[in-house]
Chain A
Amino acid sequence: AQSVTQPDIHITVSEGASLELRCNYSYGATPYLFWYVQSPGQGLQLLLKYFSGDTLVQGIKGFEAEFKRSQSSFNLRKPSVHWSDAAEYFCAVDGGYQKVTFGTGTKLQVIP
């Protein structure tokens, strides 16, 4: 069965600092990988996705993620965080048939 691990429950960064959110997955083959963001009381918004090809994926809002097969990782990065980026971030894996498994989420706090 597929699984997703987000080891950081909560991260605090200063506005303007760089950000990296970690995500590790477990799946027998190369899965489809996603990062979503959820603001309080809101649904999920897709930041980016990886299906195949270039392992560095660009997303919306200045986010990018890198797929590393050898490490089973798909970490999310942003070079300069804005206060509006404060939210909860979910990594997800689709092992087929759109059965998506989500990680437990990382809550991002941005301080001035």
Chain B
Amino acid sequence: GAVVSQHPSWVICKSGTSVKIECRSLDFQATTMFWYRQFPKQSLMLMATSNEGSKATYEQGVEKDKFLINHASLTLSTLTVTSAHPEDSSFYICSASGSEETYEQYFGPGTRLTVT
């Protein structure tokens, strides 16, 4: 149980375009979803936290207008990278939590974004 999927698994886009990444909890309802960014050979950095039906909470230094997060349902959150630039190239990972009591996040397989 507790499977989280991401789509696409990898994407290449041209500079200036936007790209949307989906994160789905397949077998549970995710009250909270998290978006992380992982640079090569580095750790995961939390970008934002989203709760279903409310606005996402962004971490300091993360541009909310560039990284649009929508958590429209209890099983789907999307991250849209707007006007992408090469420096946005990274590995984006989402996670989902069904309960604050368990303090456990289930991670998706990640999406590799390359901006040319």
Contacts and interface: CB of A to CB of B under 8 A. Distances in A.
B43 A32 contact: no
Per DSSP, chain B at the interface is: strand
Given A43-B109, A44-B93, A102 B44 contact: yes
Interface in A63-112: 90, 94, 97-105
Interface residues of A, number: 21
Which residue of B42, B49, B104, B108 has the most chain A CB atoms within 10 A of its CB atom?
Answer: B104
A51 B102 CA distance: 9
A105 B64 CA distance: 27
A98 B49 contact: yes
19 contacts: A32-B103, A42-B109, A43-B4, A43-B93, A43-B107, A44-B95, A46-B104, A46-B106, A51-B103, A90-B44, A98-B97, A99-B46, A100-B34, A100-B105, A101-B46, A102-B43, A103-B43, A104-B43, A105-B42
